[in-house]
Every structure is written in C-alpha cells, then in structure tokens.
Amino acid sequence: MASTRVQRIEEIISHSRNTYHIQFMDYRANHLSQGVIALARLDANIDQIKRFEQEYVAKRGLEDKLPVTMEITKENFKDYIGTQKNEHYSPYLKYFSDLVSERGWESVLREYYPGGYRRLCGLIISWNYSYWTWN
C-alpha cells in the first residue's frame, strides 16, 4: 500500500514538472512540487494532495511549461547561466535530467558543481526538487 502511495505522489510531482513552468507571471516561482512533498511528509492522503494541486494551479495561475527551443550541451551550458530568462529553464532541466539519468546525481554534482551543496541550495530547490527528495 505504501509503495502505491509513493507512486501516486511521484506521478503528481512528475505531472507538475512536465506540465507547468517553473515561473509564472514573469517572476513568481512555482512551488507546487514542494507543497506536494510537504503534504506527503505530513501524511496527507492522495485525495488531499490532489485537491491541493488543483487549488494551487487554479489560484496561482500557473503557466504551461515552455517547449525546449534550444539545446544545452556540455560545450554551451555556461553560456546562459545567470541570464534568468524563462526560455532557458526547460533546456537546462532536460540537459541535467538526462545527465543524472545517465550518470547519477553524485557524478553530475561533482563535475558541474564542485563547490558542493552549500553553493547549490537555491538551485537544487528550484531546479529539480522532486528528484532529490524522492531518490
């Protein structure tokens, strides 16, 4: 039963990550995944979590995830860091998610962020919070 609950929570987070953009109204951050994880850790049932998801989306006016219109590669990944343009989020998410799937998060972290966790707190939270929490 517990594994079914975890699977449903992972589905909700995955749906959120694959459907909604990380920012909305140009600057506000989408914290839907963090809310789902917090409710799950507080032992909310799936119906409560789904209701939260629906209300969060409706009240916040989340925007659809932007399509990947460019490719981030090992050669160009530094070129767009710090630009804070919404259209760069999806390509970076794809690039780093693919790397983590291929090599594991520890390997990726060592190569791309040798300064360690302290320097990455904000990025980890907004980049791929659900991955770090559930794996």
Lowest mean pLDDT segment, chosen from 2-6, 33-37, 102-106: 2-6
pTM of the model: 0.60
Predicted confidence (pLDDT) per residue in 105-120, tens digit: 888 888 887 665 555 5
The pLDDT score that the predictor gives to residue 125 is: 53
CA distance 125 to 30: 11
Helix (H) or strand (E) holding 102: helix 89-103
Q: Are the C-beta atoms of 63 and 21 separated by less than 8 Å? A: yes
Q: Are the C-beta atoms of 5 and 126 separated by less than 8 Å? A: no
Placement of tokens 């449903």 in the chain = 8
The pLDDT score that the predictor gives to residue 34 is: 85
20: β partners: 64
Predicted confidence (pLDDT) per residue in 62-86, tens digit: 778 777 788 989 899 888 877 766 6
